[in-house]
Amino acid sequence: MADLLLGIDVGTGGCKALLIDPQGDVLAHATTEYPLATPKPLWSEQDPERWWQATAASISQVLAAANVRPDRVAGVGLTGQMHGLVLLDDTGAVLRPAILWNDQRCAAECDEIHKRIGRDTLIARTGKPALAGFTAPKILWVRTHEPAVFSAATTMLLPKDFVRYRLSGRKLSDVADASGTSLFDVGARRWSDEIIDALEVPRAWLPEVTESPVISSAVSADGAAASGLLQGTPIVGGAGDQAAEAVGCGVVDDGAVSVTIGTSGVVFAATRRMTPDPAGLLHAYCHAAPGLWHVMGVMLSAGGSLRWYRDTIGGVSYDTLTAAAATVPAGCEGLLFLPYLTGERTPHADPLARGAFVGLTLRHDKPYLTRAVLEGVAFGLKDSLELVRELGVHVSRVRLSGGGARSAMWRQLMADVFDLDVVTVNVTQGAAFGAALLAGVGIGTWPDVVEATRAVVRETDSVSPGADAAVYQDVYLRYRKLYPALAFGNGVGYG
């Protein structure tokens, strides 16, 4: 009987395949890595064919690890890195390496988009200003700098959708992932003819778009031969990695909020209506759950700040560092850490912002430095939470996921800094798990995305604010003064 669900996550470092049963239990998972190329300063590229090869390998590995026949797989859900540009010619061949979400070559093209459309109009339609990492600026860059490639192109796909094309032969996308292109009317959940025409992007390039849990394609004969799946296995629309991660964590109700701490940090709030931030500091997208949208703030160096500290100063394991930091009083006796080690996106949208320790004295040894880093990351995430509140979202609790959620000490610190209950859930596989749930909705395992998450996502721990919460309210106000005082960057941010 076909009852198992396959989630595929086409990440920046590798492709993960994950197989779950209808109870949400993970039967097996496998990851196949691939390289990232930086051929010039600010450039970040990958070969899309390596994504497909890694996907096929991971699927084969996960079927073997679970010891199941391919006819047990009832549906496939896709997710992956967002914003990447893949261009195909009329034979379906890749024309150039994919330009990725973290590529920064397109500053001039962002200015051109704002000039052609107007920044306020762009935010109102797409939910966000133009940023170098988004897809539309990359299209304009190719048109200017690689005209032969532009002329030969007939199709534009996002990373996971290129994998879908190789797996099914269909050129499709979904509303959640398309929301990150700067070509999509997020409120109307469709491509924006207004923006497409203003930017002179060929309309024929753009794939058909469906809702995330809708069956939109099926495994082809070629896809089956490469992956080991059964020809005809249904594939749903899927979602970009952040929306799929939210599904996997159960953040699918109006007002539900999650914080995910990986290398970067993401504050994600589900909303019943499209709620753009007029200042463009938070970004609005279609959610993977039909009828919902979400706003999102991104901190570029969350877990990345702690990793940098461990590798350069700390010199011991994360557990050892946090255990020592737990002995230090809240506020670190005046020591503050600004976590802008790779610039910042929210709330400052400033690639020139820089990190700093401020307030050092002879008393501040490694445990103090460690706690200052943990507090600085929490304050940076609180910036996004405050912006979410300013949009009218009532935040009563936060679901925490990612590597940072594993530390009990950091969970308590965040509850105190946020002055909110912080809860964790049983799901640790993130976006791939969410993609598998979307597949389950598509084939009818559950009637909708909300019911899918209620069936399998369970809270495992809850931490309430303690006595340190009052201390942190004052420390946070001092933290907010650091960025404008140090003036490393462009000064865009706090009003």
Catalytic residues: 241
DSSP 8-state secondary structure symbol assigned to residue 391: T
For the record, the structure tokens of 251 come out as 């953040």
Amino acid at 425: V
d(CA 144, CA 140): 6
Q: Are 158 and 83 in contact (CB under 8 A)?
A: yes
- Dihedral of alpha carbons 357, 360, 362, 363, sign: negative
d(CA 437, CA 429): 12
Please count the other Cβ atoms lying within 10 Å of the Cβ belonging to residue 395. 16
Question: First and final CA of the chain: distance in angstroms?
Answer: 58
- Residue 160 φ then ψ, to 5°: -65, -25
Q: Are 192 and 106 in contact (CB under 8 A)?
A: no
Helix (H, G, I), strand (E, B) or coil at 352: coil
> In which residue are the tokens 């990725």 written?
100
Strand-pairing partners, residue 79, are 9, 239
Q: Are 126 and 194 in contact (CB under 8 A)?
A: no
d(CA 56, CA 31): 11
DSSP string, 399-425: EEEEGGGG-HHHHHHHHHHHTSEEEEE
DSSP string, 123-139: HHHHSS---TTSHHHHH
d(CA 435, CA 177): 12
Please count the other Cβ atoms lying within 10 Å of the Cβ belonging to residue 462. 12
Length of the chain, in residues: 495
Q: Are 376 and 343 in contact (CB under 8 A)?
A: no
Helices 107-117 and 119-126 meet at what angle, rounded to 10? 90
Q: Are 275 and 295 in contact (CB under 8 A)?
A: yes
**Pairing verdict, β 14-20 and 4-10:** antiparallel
* Residue 88 CA to its chain's centroid (Å): 25
